[in-house]
Amino acid sequence: MSFTVAIDGPAASGKGTISRAVAAQFGLGHLDTGLLYRAVGARMLDGMDPVEAAETLNPEEIDEDALRTPDVAQAASKVAAIAQVRAALVDVQRAFARRAGGAVLDGRDIGTVICPEAEVKLFVTASAEVRAERRWKELAAKGHRVAYEEVLADVRERDARDAGRSDAPMKRAEDAVLLDTSTLSIEEAVARACAAVEAAGGDRRG
């Protein structure tokens, strides 16, 4: 029997951190679907046609560290607006969602398009300024020298593109729990997400 947790939200909202913590606490697999789009975006920056890049992508070969840069994030958001790119990535996401033992998927369209039947849906958000500050700190900690204002502009630009595209736009599913983390610590946000999973019948490990 599958058990799927769908976690969506805008750029740098904390989806990844919350998803990893929920997966660990409930013993579920985790797929960061943003990495698929980032990998396609990176291949486009290397000169490949984005549709071909998506159709030939091997998710096993994704090098996460190389993809966590602002340039790749922008490229990801651009390729993510192409319907054939999104179509090429559907099967791998749905197969992961059905894996035995349950799964957490995070992205933009998991609760609306990829897994509309998910047992738990969360839409994680925060103000653009708070999200930009968190992302700026993450990037700085990894040695990327980038100005806060640039990160804020990137977050805003991607949000507008992601919410405005015609195919699978980022939006809260009607039945998703809204989790605004603007004034929450990581621990509080994780606790609320875990409470929602437990309420839907998820079993905590140990």
CA gap 22, 105 in Å, rounded: 11
Element containing residue 178 per DSSP (H, E): strand 177-180
Q: Which is closer to ligand CDP, CB of 189 or CB of 204?
A: 189
Of 25 and 33, the one with the shorter C-beta distance to ligand CDP is 33
Q: What is the closest distance, in whole angstroms, from the C-beta atom of residue 134 to ligand CDP in the complex? A: 10
CB of 12 or CB of 42, closer to ligand CDP: 12
Q: Name the residues that contact ligand CDP, by CB under 6 A.
A: 11-12, 16, 33-34, 37-38, 73, 76-77, 80, 107-110, 158, 162
Nearest distance in Å: CB 107, ligand CDP: 2
Nearest approach in angstroms of CB 93 to ligand CDP is: 8
Q: How far is it, in rounded angstroms, from Cα 124 to Cα 111?
A: 12
C-alpha 128/C-alpha 204 separation (Å) is: 32
The burial of 171, by beta-carbon neighbours within 10 Å (0-12 exposed, 13-18 middle, 19 or more buried), is given as: middle
**Closer residue to ligand CDP (CB): 178 or 199:** 178
Tokens for 1, please give them.
Answer: 């029997």
**Sequence-ordered list of residues with C-beta below 8 angstroms from that of 101, at least 6 positions apart, any chain:** 27, 28, 29
Question: Nearer to ligand CDP by C-beta: 26 or 96?
Answer: 96
Q: How far is the CB of 190 from ligand CDP (least distance, A)?
A: 17
Q: Are 39 and 62 in contact (CB under 8 A)?
A: yes
Closest contact distance (angstroms) between CB of 131 and ligand CDP is 8
Residue 1 burial (CB count, 10 A): 6
